[in-house]
Chains A and B, each alone.
Chain A
Amino acid sequence: MSSAQTKTEHGHTDHNYLNHGSGIWSWMTTLDHKRIGLMYFATVSTLFLIGGFFALGIRLHLAKFGATPLLEPDTYNKFMTFHGAIMVFMVIIPGIPAFLGNFVLPIQLGAKDVAFPRLNLASYYIFIAGAAIAASSMIFNQVDTGWTFYTPYSTAKTSNGVILLVLGAFTMGFSSILTGLNFIVTTHKLRAPGMTMDRIPLMIWALYSTSIIQILATPILAITLLLIGAEKTLGVGIFDPDLGGDPVLFQHFFWFYSHPAVYIMILPAMGVISELITAFSKKTIFGYRAIAYSSVAIAAVSFLVWGHHMFVSGQSTLAGLVFSIITMFVGVPTAIKLFNWISTMYRGTVTFEAPMLFALGFMFLFTIGGLTGVFLASTGMDVHFHDTYFVVAHFHYVMVGGTLMALMGGIFYWFPKMFGKMTSDLGGRISWVLIFTGFNVTFFPQFVLGAMGMPRRYFDYLPEYTNLNQISTVGSWLIGLGFLVGLITIIHGILKGEKASDNPWGAKTLEWQTSSPPPHENFTTTPTVTAGPYDFR
């Protein structure tokens, strides 16, 4: 208990942030970071269901080879585009930072709120506006470019729906920047007395590094997307080879954001995992500083590796070589984290509640994703694997196996704090088994398919790929079922969950030192911190 000498009055559970104001209007206009976090939760979950619908559609279509397709080729391309764009821009990027981060960050710092609560609410509405603009492209003018909007197809050939999708992504980028800015200032300025930078929880270090990437990378995406819009409306030829522009410049610009964006997705997940591993090992984390600084190191390296998306774009051999080597550097801080987590569990009192299962799932899947990343970072192998299902499997292992596992683990872990109730542990475990199994059944065959040469993004394939594709499709249903069980468990928990104690997991970080759910201002008295965040023994 030394992490915080709080004088929280635990009796005050009758008044908390959930009943601080009532009615839908009090939620819509709330400045409370916890409520804004939950609003993101609801929004992102809804978008996740839509993105998942497209994913199941794609997989169902691919279950059958040859004629009588479920989806027309054109429709298939649109499904693929919306699946990618929704999942990347609207689910995985905002998922952990905007939802869990918003909820947890100020409490973990011992602050009453984020530095700019009004800006925080504004970012939420900007996000909603962006999602609405992007979604309107589904109604008015569907897009078939893939979520990467590669030029010159996106600027010179396809429909004007791209403008809407791009504008939506631009707007959501704005929201991402403002959230990141808010987190950085909050971390710098609103730490509780005694909460020095080497005492902040690792979740905060992860969110802090993420915010730095958000601030530095998102503006480049913004200008890139604006340029696509300008090309389509005004005919500016910066990416259009007919006018002297260069489509490869688009790739440079796009990946200069979108590669760091991969770490916007995964760093917060790593933060969540650090919290889960310590809490369920009941042990001081091994190598606090190493984990903290490795987050910053990943953020720094993330800006230097975008060229590995362009090994076959015609860039020079030297550039390919340099990007290849720098890309492999990412493995170092990542491995540091992984080894530290394993060392933390070693001789710990490990228990396997649902959140911990998700954490272990993360470690397993992310390791596979990371190791196959080394294959793809090697220029020679990348030429073979380029644009095959190997790549698809790789980034799904990293982004879904990594981020969504951590997101689910984080939800089950912080659920008692959010709602003051427990979820059914059995429900969580069943959800985990289904997602974890389904995930491997879906994506492991895709490594094989990719190595056999099945190209990605195609709506049909050769007959020899049929079996593995069918296995993959069955796996996708298991994943869908797993998330459905997870959703039911969460809704059941909200409605009928048992009452949670203030610290059901026996964790040491500050959010567990206040009541569940926390009062409107997080703590009844500002906590004073006297030791590190994970002082178990």
Chain B
Amino acid sequence: MTSVSSSSEFHHQHHFKSADHQYASSKQGIWLFLCTEILMFGGLFVGYLIYHSLYPTVFKNGSETLDWKMGAVNTVVLLISSFTMAAAINYVQRGLHKIAAIMLALTIACAGAFMVIKYFEYSHKFHVGTVPGKFSLVDPSCAAGGKRAECESKISALLKNPAELEKNHVSAEEVTRLKAVISQPKWEMFYGFYFVMTGLHGVHVVAGAFLIFWVFIKTLRRKVGPEYYTPVEGVGLFWHVVDLVWIYLFPLLYLVG
């Protein structure tokens, strides 16, 4: 971040003294915004901690039904994307627009890969029926009637039907785990948190991908470069926070049982 001082000729907005001044202000603004992002997720983390301590078995059994391999792959994908993002900032600062654009494109690709993997995880849960809260394991046809006990028995029947399970890629092991979850009272809590936390994170991944695409275009058009790279760096910081949130979500949801 030392190269800005050489940029005195770069045009800055009228109310700033210099480009340096503008850069420092923008950076402070971005950091403040990121604080609010972390605080927003913080609310969910606090809730998770509370319910984890209230229903430890539910959260243990619930986390065992998640596919930690997919989560781990996603973690690696995001870590790589953070690296490519950091590299992109570095290349923009050095004026290497072409490779910077490639790095940004790679980051977007990683975001896409993350979401695709997430799609497979989510759709599997929809098939099995472990959707959040009051709709969990409830046959839509009987949800309206509200006879929950009856519907749950239907699910148990479903779990006993091998052909149906085959179709939804459910292994015998998973059946055992699902049954372990359902046997606990208040087991819906776990999926509530799982979907809200990963869902909100997913929204951030998508938003981040769009922002990266925005600076990708800027890079291609050479609107950013060694003398002015605030948008790239700001988006990069946002992306790192998105990554960071996942770094906490992954062990919390998938590993801590």
Contact = CB atoms under 8 A, between A and B. Distances in A.
A237 B14 contact: no
A235 B47 CA distance: 16
15 contacts: A115-B15, A181-B32, A184-B32, A185-B32, A189-B25, A218-B36, A223-B44, A227-B47, A234-B135, A237-B188, A242-B134, A243-B188, A243-B192, A249-B50, A521-B15
A244 B25 CA distance: 46
Interface residues of A, number: 42
B170 interface: no
Contacts of A190: 15-16, 25
Nearest to B193: A238
Contacts of B54: 244
The 8 closest A-B CB pairs, nearest first, are: A244-B186, A235-B134, A235-B133, A223-B43, A112-B15, A219-B40, A219-B39, A236-B192
B169 interface: no
A117 B16 CA distance: 12
B256 interface: no
B35 interface: yes
A233 to B, nearest CB: 10
Given A181-B29, A215-B32, A235 B132 contact: yes
B97 to A, nearest CB: 25
Contacts of A218: 36
Interface string A202-220: 0000000000000110111
Contact of B133 (A182, A222, A237): A237
B46 to A, nearest CB: 8
Interface of B: 13-16, 21, 24-26, 28-29, 32-33, 35-37, 39-44, 47, 50-51, 54-55, 58, 131-136, 185-186, 188-189, 192-193, 195-196, 200
A230 B192 CA distance: 9
A177 interface: yes
Given A219-B42, A220-B39, A245-B192, A115 B133 contact: no
A224 B41 CA distance: 11
A182 B25 CA distance: 10
Task: Please classify the interface of chain B as helix (H, G, I), strand (E, B), loop, or mixed, using the class held by over half of its residues.
Answer: helix
B155 to A, nearest CB: 16
Contacts of B36: 177, 181, 215, 218-219
Contacts of A181: 29, 32-33, 36
Nearest to B24: A189
Contacts of A243: 133-134, 186, 188-189, 192
B133 A249 contact: no
Nearest to A244: B186
A244 B188 contact: yes
A185 B41 CA distance: 23
A235 B138 CA distance: 12
A185 to B, nearest CB: 5
Of A181, A216, A223, A224, most B-chain CB atoms within 10 Å = A223
B134 A244 contact: no
Given A243-B188, A243-B192, 13 more contacts: A185-B32, A190-B15, A216-B39, A223-B40, A224-B43, A235-B132, A235-B136, A236-B132, A236-B195, A238-B47, A240-B133, A244-B55, A244-B185
A153 B16 CA distance: 50
A244 B189 contact: yes
Interface of A: 111-113, 115-117, 119, 177-178, 181-182, 184-185, 188-190, 215-216, 218-220, 222-224, 226-227, 230-231, 234-238, 240, 242-246, 249, 253, 521
Given A189-B21, A215-B35, A236-B196, A245 B189 contact: yes
Contacts of A119: 29
A230 B193 CA distance: 11
Nearest to A180: B32
A105 to B, nearest CB: 13
B143 to A, nearest CB: 9
Contacts of B195: 234, 236
Contacts of B55: 244
A385 B89 CA distance: 59
Contacts of B37: 219
Nearest to A182: B29
Contacts of A246: 50
B32 A238 contact: no
Contacts of B51: 238, 244-245
Of A184, A222, A242, A244, most B-chain CB atoms within 10 Å = A244
Nearest to A119: B29
Contacts of A219: 36-37, 39-40, 42-43
Contacts of A215: 32, 35-36
A237 B134 contact: yes
Nearest to B135: A235
